[in-house]
Amino acid sequence: MALDDLRTKEFRVVGTRPIRPDGIDKVTGRAKFGADVTASGMLHGAILRSPHPHARILSIDVSRAIAEPAVKAVVTRADFAGNLEGEDWNVLENIMAGERALYDGHAIAAVAATSALSARDALKLIDVTYEKLPFVTDVDEAIRPGAPVIREGAADESVPEGLHPNIVRYHENGHGDVEKGFAEADLVIERSFVTEATHQGYIEPHACLAQLGPDGKGELWCCTQGHFAAARICAKLVGIDASQLRVTPSEIGGGFGGKTTVFIEPVALALSRKANRPVKIVMSRSEVFRATGPTSSASMNVKIGMRKNGDITAAEGEFRLQGGAFPNAPMEFAAMCAFAPYDLEHVRSRGWDILCNRPKQAAYRAPGSPMGAFAVESVIDELCNRLKLDPIEVRLRNAVKEGARAAFGPRFQRIGLIETLEQAKAHPHYMAELKPGQGRGVSCGFWFNHSGETSVSLALSYDGTVSLSVGTPDIGGSRASMCQMAAEELGIPYENVRTTIADTGSLGYNDISHGSRVTYASGLATIRAAQDTIRKLCARAAARWEIDEEAVVWEDGHARPAGPNAGEFEPLSLAAIAADMGETGGPIAGHFEITPNGAGVSFATHIVDAEVDRETGAAKVVRYTVVQDAGKAIHPSYVEGQYQGGAVQGIGWALNEEYVYGDDGCLQNAGFLDYRMPVASDLPFIDTVIVEVPNPGHPYGVRGVGETSICPPLAAIANAVSNAADVRMTHLPMSPPRLLKAIQEKELG
Amino acid sequence: MEYAAPATLDNALALAHETDGQVRFLAGGTDVLVQLRSGLFEPDLVIDIKQIPGMLDVTRSPEGAWTIGAAVPGRILGTIEGLRDDWPGIVEAMELIGSTQIQSRASLVGNLCNASPAADGIPAMVAAGATVSIAGVDGLRTAEVADILMAPGQTNLKKGEIVTSIDLPARVAGSADAYLRFIPRTEMDIAVAGCAVNLTVKDSQVCTARVSLGAVAPTVLLVPDAATAICGTCLDETALNDLAAACRAACRPIDDKRGTVAFRTDIAGVLARRAAILAYRRAQERESA
C-alpha cells in the first residue's frame, strides 16, 4: 500500500491540536470508568489469594462462607471450563489456581455477597489447606541446578535438551560470524546486566460488572484495552459462545499493556452465573500489584566490539527473562530489538524464557525492548567513553537506514533513525554545558509496531454530522485522532464527527489497543471507511444529476462534477446529501475491515542529563529530551504526550521502581508507598521533538508512537547516571542504596 | 464499630475507660483511617477528639513555651507567628509528611502516637526535648516524648489515656533546630533515615545540643554521644566527622524494602552532618538577631 495522493496535499485538520472529545468528561468527573458501572440487584465480588509463593492446594472448604446470609455464591477452579489448552489454559490457571498456588497473591477462590464488606469478611471463612512447596523468585536462581521446578514438561520444542526445566522457550537470531567480527575490533567490552520487574502502574485498578444467566447469555462492562479479546477469552474460560457475551469497555484509566488480558472478568462472570445476579469486582491496589501482570525481570550479557573509528565490528547478546509462573516472557522481543538500530555485519542474539514463582507477566509498553536496549546501549556508551568518541556520532556511523538488514532478519523499509540522531545532535540540549556532578546519556531505541484485525463503521446523520464507530479502546487520545482523520477525508469540521468505542455486539472483531496500533490501524480503517462513504455520497449526487458515478468527485466536503464534460451542477455538500438520504436510497454508512500489513517500525533517540549526590546515592534527572519518528503526527499534542509518558515511566523504572521479594517469596511492596513511582516533583520538563519520516504503509504516513518512547530511557538514564557518578551502573533500578554502594566500591578501588 | 465525638475531655476519658475491647483515638485520621481500610485492626470504638476544647489550639506562654493541641493539623504550624522562628526543625519536619492534603489533617500528636520508627515528626520533637501532656481518669501527667515510645507502633500510654498536647520549652537566644530525612523520591515517601539536631550557639561555639535519629532503630533514638561530639566546638570538620561517627554507631537498623542496614547507617551520618550545619547556621542567625 502506497501513501495516498492526499499525503502530498496540505492537511486541513490532521496536524492541528483540537480539544479532545472526552476532555470535559474527564476533567469534570463525568467519565465512566470501570468501577462506575452499577446494576440493580448487583452483588460485590472478592477474591481469596494465596499467602504462599508456591503451595499445593490440598483442600478448599467453603461451607462456612456459603452459610453466611449475605453470601450468594462462592466459586473455585471447578466453576470454570475444564477443557482448555495452551495460552487459554495459562490465563485460566493465572486467574484461578488449579492444583497449586504458584505465586503470592494467586487467586484461590472468590465470593459474591450483598456488600463489598460482607464479601471481604466472607473470604476469612474459606478454609484452605496448603502444603508449602519450595519456591524461586529470581530469574538467575530459577535456572541453577536444584532450583524448584515450577511446571514439569512446560518447555516447548525450541528449548535445547539438557537445560533446566524452568527454561520453557528459546530464541535466537542474527547473522555473520561474531567471532570473526570481535577479532577485527580494537576494543571489545562484555558486561552483565540486571533489570528488576516493574508494574505498568495505571492509575485505575481493574474493575468490572458481569451478568451471566443460566441461558449462557451474558453482558460484561469492564476496563480493558481490548473488549473483543476479552469477550473471546472470557467466553472460553466460562464455557459459553463468544457472540453470546457482549462486552462494553469503560473509559480507561491507563493500561500500558497491562489491560490486554483478563483477571477478574471471568471470575465475576462465574460468580454471576452461580448467583444469577450481576456481580461487580473492583481490585484494590495491592491486588493489582500482587496478581496482575508486571513486566519481566531480566538478566542479560552483552558483548560488543568496536574499531577506533567507531565502527561496530560484532555484537552478541544473551537475554534471560522471567515472566512469572507461566510461559511467554517477551525474551524474543528483547533479543530482536536490542541491536535493531544498528547495521551490523556480525550479530547474534539469544533469549531464554524462564519460569519463577511470580505473577504472570503482562505486556508493558514495548515488552522486552527497554531491557535489551539498556544492556546494548550501556555497552556502546562505555565503548564511546573508552575510545573517546562522541556517542551520537558513533550511533550515526552504525545506524540502520532504508534497505539495511535488521539484526533480526528482514530489511528495513523507509525509517527515520538517522533523522532522530541528527535532530538530537543539533538540539540545544546536546550542546548545553553540564554542571559539576552531572552526566549526560544518550540512547536509541526501537519498536516493531503492530497492525492487527481492525473494523470500522462510519454513519451519517440527517443533519450531516458523522458517527464513527471503532473497536479499539481509547488509551491515548485516539478518539480525537480518529475524528481528525474522518474530518480530513470527508472535508467537514472536526467537531462534526463523534467517535464511539463500539461494544462487541456492534462491530466486527477488533484486535486489542496494543502494539501502538490504534492510530495506525484504526486510523487507516477510518480513512478507508470515509472513502467508502464518499463513494456512496458521490453515487447519490450522480443519481440526482443523472450522470455517471465516475463523473462525480469529492472535494472540500462537496460532491462536484468531475469536469466540464460531466455537466454543470451546483456542488452538493455532505449535509445536503444526508438531509434526504432516506428518500434517495436509504441510510449512508461506510465500512472497512482489514488486518493491515504496513505498520511502520519506529526509532527514537533520547538525551538525558542526570545529577548524583555522591554521599547519598540519590540520582535526579535534570534535563530530558525525546526525539522520535512519528511518521505523521495526527494530533501532535498526544504524540508529545506519548513521548513524555514513555520517558517518565522510564525514569521510574531506571531509578526507583521495582518488585521487591522477601526471603519468604512474597511481594514486599504491594502499594504505591513502597513501589516508588516518580511523583511530579521528581521530574524535569520532558522536551520533545517530533520527526516525521512517513510510513509508506499508512495513507497519511502514520507510525505508532506509544511504545518506542519507553525503549531508550533505561539506557539513556543509566548512561547519564554512570557518567555523572563515574561508575558503570548495570543493575536497574539505580536506587540510592545500589548507587551509593557502587560509588563507594569504586572509591575503595 | 462505634464512633463518638465527645465535646469534653472528661466525656472522652470516661468513654475510653468504660469501653471493653479496642479503642482508637482519631485526630486527623491519616493513619487510623488507612489502617482501618487495609484491615490492620477492627476497633470497637473510635473516639474523635477534635470537638474537645483545646485540641485545635496552639498557644505560647509569656515565657515563650509552646503548647500544640493534639489535633492541630500540621499545615497550620507554619502559619503561626513565631513558631517557625523558635522551632524551624519541628515545623519543617511536619511539612515533609505526606502531601498538602495529608498535612491539612495530620497532627504532630497523631504522628507520635502512631509510633512509627520512621515518623518524620518524632525526631525533631525528641531533639527539642519536647514533653507531652497526658490525660487519664486518674488525672494529668507529663512525659518526655522519647519516653513514651516502646517499639514500632507501640507506646506505653495506658488504656484510656489521651495525649492532649505537645509542649515545647521556651527558647534562649542563639537556639535553632533542623530536621532532614532521606527518601528516594522528592515527596510522598517514608524516611529511610532521618536526623534532627537542636542546638544553642554562643560566640560561634555550640554550647548545648540534642541529636535524634529516625528510621534506624525500633524507636526514634536520642543520641547523647552525637551531642557530645559537637558541644564545645565550632562545628569544624573534626566535630562533624565525630558527630557522623557517633550517629552511625548508634544505628540499629533493619534490611527491608526501604533500605539496607549499611545504607541506613551510612545515610544517618550524612544527614547528621547536614542537619547540624543547617541548625548551626540558623542558630548563628538567631544569636545575632
Whether chain B has a CB inside 8 Å of the CB on A664: the answer is no
DSSP bridge pairs for A497:
A466
Whether chain B has a CB inside 8 Å of the CB on A403: the answer is no
- Quick check: A616 and B190 CB within 8 A? no
Q: Reduce the DSSP state of residue A32 to 3 states and report it.
A: coil
Q: Reduce the DSSP state of residue A171 to 3 states and report it.
A: strand
Instruction: Please give the residue of chain A at the shortest CA–CA distance from B193.
Output: A616
Candidate from A615, A660, A678 with C-beta closest to B185: A678
Residues of chain B in contact with residue A674, where contact means CB-CB under 8 angstroms, are: 190, 257-258
Statement to judge: residues A581 and A637 lie in one domain: no
Disruptive mutation site among A740, A743, A745, A748 for chain B (greatest number of B CBs within 10 Å) = A740
Interfacial A residues in 114-143 facing B (CB < 8 Å):
120
Task: Answer with the residue of higher pLDDT: B37 or B127.
Answer: B127
- Quick check: B182 and A681 CB within 8 A? no
CATH of the domain at A581: 3.30.365.10
Indicate if the pLDDT at residue A568 is higher than 50: yes
CA distance A618 to chain B (A): 7
Would you say residue A44 lies in a domain? no
* CA B219 centroid distance within chain: 12
CATH 3.30.43.10 domain extents, chain B: 1-50
Statement to judge: residues A645 and A615 lie in one domain: yes
- Quick check: A617 and B270 CB within 8 A? no
Question: What is the Cα–Cα distance from B74 to B96, expressed in whole angstroms?
Answer: 10
Residues A127-140 have a mean pLDDT of 98
**Each residue's pLDDT tens digit, B196-254:** 999 999 999 999 999 999 999 999 999 999 999 999 999 999 999 999 999 999 999 99
**Each residue's pLDDT tens digit, B81-137:** 999 999 999 999 999 999 999 999 999 999 999 999 999 999 999 999 999 999 998
Would you say residue A707 lies in a domain? yes
- Quick check: B270 and A615 CB within 8 A? yes
A155 band by pLDDT with thresholds 50, 70 and 90 = very high
Asked which of A594, A614, A639 is the last residue of a domain, the reply is: A594
Question: What is the Cα–Cα distance from A630 to A69, expressed in whole angstroms?
Answer: 58
Statement to judge: residues A670 and A639 lie in one domain: yes
Statement to judge: residues A606 and A732 lie in one domain: yes
Question: What is the Cα–Cα distance from A62 to A123, expressed in whole angstroms?
Answer: 9
Statement to judge: residues A577 and A706 lie in one domain: no
**Each residue's pLDDT tens digit, A664-717:** 999 999 999 999 999 999 999 999 999 999 999 999 999 999 999 999 999 999
Assess contact for A512 and A452: CB atoms under 8 A: yes
Statement to judge: residues A608 and A728 lie in one domain: yes
CATH architecture of B1-50: 2-Layer Sandwich (3.30)
In the DSSP assignment, the letter for residue A519 is I
Would you say residue A303 lies in a domain? no
Indicate if the pLDDT at residue A489 is higher than 50: yes
Would you say residue A203 lies in a domain? no
According to DSSP H, which parts of A496-635 are helical?
Answer: 523-545, 574-579
Among residues A722, A657, A736, the alpha carbon closest in space to that of B266 is found at A736
Residues A246-264 have a mean pLDDT of 98
**Each residue's pLDDT tens digit, A310-345:** 999 999 999 999 999 999 999 999 999 999 999 999
pLDDT over 70 percentage in chain A: 99
**CB within 8 Å of A55: residues ≥ 6 apart:** A100, A101, A130, A131, A132, A133
A517 band by pLDDT with thresholds 50, 70 and 90 = very high
A7 band by pLDDT with thresholds 50, 70 and 90 = low
Assess contact for A101 and A296: CB atoms under 8 A: no
Whether chain B has a CB inside 8 Å of the CB on A617: the answer is yes
- The pLDDT assigned to A6 comes to 46
**Each residue's pLDDT tens digit, A391-426:** 999 999 999 999 999 999 999 999 999 999 999 999
Helix or strand holding residue B206 (H, E): strand B205-214
Asked which of A594, A617, A633 is the last residue of a domain, the reply is: A594
Candidate from B188, B262, B266 with C-beta closest to A679: B188
A3 band by pLDDT with thresholds 50, 70 and 90 = low
A566 band by pLDDT with thresholds 50, 70 and 90 = confident
CATH 3.30.390.50 domain extents, chain B: 175-288
- Residue A577 is part of which domain span? 5-31+451-594
Sign of CA dihedral A499, A505, A507, A508: positive
- Quick check: B185 and A736 CB within 8 A? no
Would you say residue A103 lies in a domain? no
Asked which of A572, A594, A616 is the last residue of a domain, the reply is: A594
Whether chain B has a CB inside 8 Å of the CB on A619: the answer is no
Residues of chain B in contact with residue A736, where contact means CB-CB under 8 angstroms, are: 182, 184, 192, 259, 263, 267
- Quick check: A678 and B39 CB within 8 A? no
- The pLDDT assigned to A564 comes to 85
**Each residue's pLDDT tens digit, A60-84:** 999 999 999 999 999 999 999 999 9
Assess contact for B123 and B220: CB atoms under 8 A: yes
C-beta atoms surrounding A112 within 10 Å:
31
Residues A487-506 have a mean pLDDT of 98
- The pLDDT assigned to B151 comes to 96
Statement to judge: residues A374 and A463 lie in one domain: no
Among residues A248, A258, A247, the alpha carbon closest in space to that of A203 is found at A258
C-beta atoms surrounding A416 within 10 Å:
27
- Quick check: B187 and A678 CB within 8 A? no
**Each residue's pLDDT tens digit, A519-556:** 999 999 999 999 999 999 999 999 999 999 999 999 99
Question: What is the Cα–Cα distance from B123 to A507, expressed in whole angstroms?
Answer: 62
Statement to judge: residues A399 and A518 lie in one domain: no
- Quick check: B257 and A674 CB within 8 A? yes
DSSP secondary structure of A584-609 = TTS--EEEEEE--S----EEEEEEEE
Q: How many domains does chain A have?
A: 2
Whether chain B has a CB inside 8 Å of the CB on A547: the answer is no
- The pLDDT assigned to A717 comes to 98
Candidate from A120, A660, A736 with C-beta closest to B184: A736
- Quick check: A617 and B263 CB within 8 A? yes
Would you say residue A442 lies in a domain? yes
A624 band by pLDDT with thresholds 50, 70 and 90 = very high
A9 band by pLDDT with thresholds 50, 70 and 90 = low
Interfacial A residues in 282-311 facing B (CB < 8 Å):
286
What is the DSSP pairing of strand B66-69 with strand A100-101?
unpaired
Statement to judge: residues A615 and A710 lie in one domain: yes
- The pLDDT assigned to A206 comes to 98
Question: What is the Cα–Cα distance from A642 to B4, expressed in whole angstroms?
Answer: 50
Residues of chain A in contact with residue B260, where contact means CB-CB under 8 angstroms, are: 737
CATH architecture of B175-288: 2-Layer Sandwich (3.30)
Indicate if the pLDDT at residue A19 is higher than 70: yes
- Quick check: B187 and A681 CB within 8 A? yes
Residues of chain B in contact with residue A737, where contact means CB-CB under 8 angstroms, are: 259-260, 262-263
CA distance A662 to chain B (A): 8
Residues B133-153 have a mean pLDDT of 95
What is the DSSP pairing of strand A279-282 with strand A297-306?
unpaired
B39 band by pLDDT with thresholds 50, 70 and 90 = confident
Would you say residue A336 lies in a domain? no
Statement to judge: residues A527 and A553 lie in one domain: yes
Indicate if the pLDDT at residue A606 is higher than 60: yes
Indicate if the pLDDT at residue B38 is higher than 90: no
pLDDT over 90 percentage in chain B: 94
- The pLDDT assigned to A5 comes to 53
Statement to judge: residues A630 and A663 lie in one domain: yes
Among residues A43, A579, A526, the alpha carbon closest in space to that of A277 is found at A43
CA distance A717 to chain B (A): 16
Residues A613-639 have a mean pLDDT of 98
**Each residue's pLDDT tens digit, A435-481:** 999 999 999 999 999 999 999 999 999 999 999 999 999 999 999 99
B63 band by pLDDT with thresholds 50, 70 and 90 = very high
Whether chain B has a CB inside 8 Å of the CB on A669: the answer is yes
Statement to judge: residues A422 and A466 lie in one domain: no
Instruction: Please give the residue of chain B at the shortest CA–CA distance from A670.
Output: B257
**CB within 8 Å of A250: residues ≥ 6 apart:** A32, A33, A34, A36, A37, A207, A221, A222, A223
Residues B12-18 have a mean pLDDT of 94
